[in-house]
Amino acid sequence: MTYLFNNSKIRSKINIVVLGRMKKEIFKLLVFITISALLTSRVYAGLDKKHNIAGLVYWHGDISQPKIALTFDDGPNEPYTSEILDILKKYNVKATFFLLGKNVERYPDTARRIVEEGHAIGNHTYDHPYLLIQSKSHIKYELEKAEQVIFKATNTKPYLFRPPYGVNDSWIYHAVKEKGYVTIEWSVTSHNGGKEISPDRIVRNVLGEVKNGAIVLLHDGDRLIKGANRSHVVKALTPIIESLQQRGYQFVTVPQLLGIEND
């Protein structure tokens, strides 16, 4: 009996130690789950990548109409932006350029030419930060600073916004909304963000994915890299335009595609 008694005493002591450890582990797990939930709540909260959110975030236009919007990010970036403008002029195609404030400071005349030739422009921030790690006030600062620079060069206040790297979450969403912007994502990408791929691959990537109402992402610049080589995009543009025109698509600006023109 004594042996059993002692044994059960030891057991209960062990149980207390084990339970104590388990409680600690459970506590750690709960802390981990809470922190993870807080962090992920910044990502895509309230947003659905598959569908347009009327008036605020768009990935595409009317899928019943054979209309397409070509968009160019990270410019102006010379000589490539001017070469793209020459091709668009030749084919009488209107496109949309999401401008970086800092690059507009470098090439104000190109920014002005974009507007003068009937293309739409959008705000792509001042210096292309990764917005998911920025405060709401810094996100607003990026929008305001780029807006001032773009207005100075083009006499136009943009109302379209494309977040760098396409990232979005509830903080960005609300900052952009409060500044009166509409966010434009894309449904088709050339997959040449931040890198050079061959003109053939750019053409294949775009033509393979295009559908009615597509918003096509291309790049005339590469973040803040001055003179970043975009010759492959320039070379790909003519076959893209010719093939899509042959398929019966009409090229329009993003505001025209979405019926949100500001007159």
Rank residues 91 and 130 by Cβ distance to Zn ion and give the closer one.
Answer: 130
Rank residues 74 and 142 by Cβ distance to Zn ion and give the closer one.
Answer: 74
Please say whether the beta carbons of 163 and 131 come within 8 A: yes
Helix (H, G, I), strand (E, B) or coil at 226: coil
Rank residues 21 and 138 by Cβ distance to Zn ion and give the closer one.
Answer: 138
- The active-site residue, picked from 124, 128, 219, 232, is 219
Q: Is residue 73 at the binding interface for Zn ion, with CB under 5 A as the rule? A: yes
- Name the minimum Å distance from CB 237 to Zn ion: 18
- Name the minimum Å distance from CB 221 to Zn ion: 8
Rank residues 74 and 220 by Cβ distance to Zn ion and give the closer one.
Answer: 74
Verify whether residue 86 is a known catalytic residue.
Answer: no
- The active-site residue, picked from 60, 73, 128, 220, is 73
DSSP, res 201: H
CA dihedral 193, 189, 175, 151 (to 10 degrees): 70
- Joined tokens for residue 74: 């990270």
- Name the minimum Å distance from CB 32 to Zn ion: 34
| Binding positions for Zn ion, 148-187, rule CB under 5 A | 164
- Name the minimum Å distance from CB 95 to Zn ion: 16
Q: Compose the 89-128 pattern: x for residues touching Zn ion by CB under 5 A, - for all others.
A: ----------------------------------------
CA gap 107, 98 in Å, rounded: 14
Stretch that binds Zn ion, among 66-74, 132-140, 166-174, 203-211 (CB under 5 A): 66-74
CA gap 100, 122 in Å, rounded: 9
What does 121-179 look like in DSSP terms, one character per residue? Answer: EEE--SS---GGGS-HHHHHHHHHHHHHHHHHHHS----EE--GGG---HHHHHHHHHT
* DSSP bridge partners of 180: none
- Name the minimum Å distance from CB 33 to Zn ion: 34
CA gap 38, 17 in Å, rounded: 32
3-state DSSP helix/strand/coil % of the chain, to nearest 5: 50, 15, 35
Stretch that binds Zn ion, among 7-15, 47-55, 73-81, 203-211 (CB under 5 A): 73-81
Verify whether residue 73 is a known catalytic residue.
Answer: yes
Rank residues 74 and 185 by Cβ distance to Zn ion and give the closer one.
Answer: 74
Please say whether the beta carbons of 73 and 193 come within 8 A: yes
Q: Is residue 220 at the binding interface for Zn ion, with CB under 5 A as the rule? A: no
Rank residues 119 and 124 by Cβ distance to Zn ion and give the closer one.
Answer: 124
* DSSP bridge partners of 97: 72, 121
Q: Is residue 74 at the binding interface for Zn ion, with CB under 5 A as the rule? A: yes
Active site residues: 73, 219
Residues that bind Zn ion (CB under 5 A): 73-74, 164
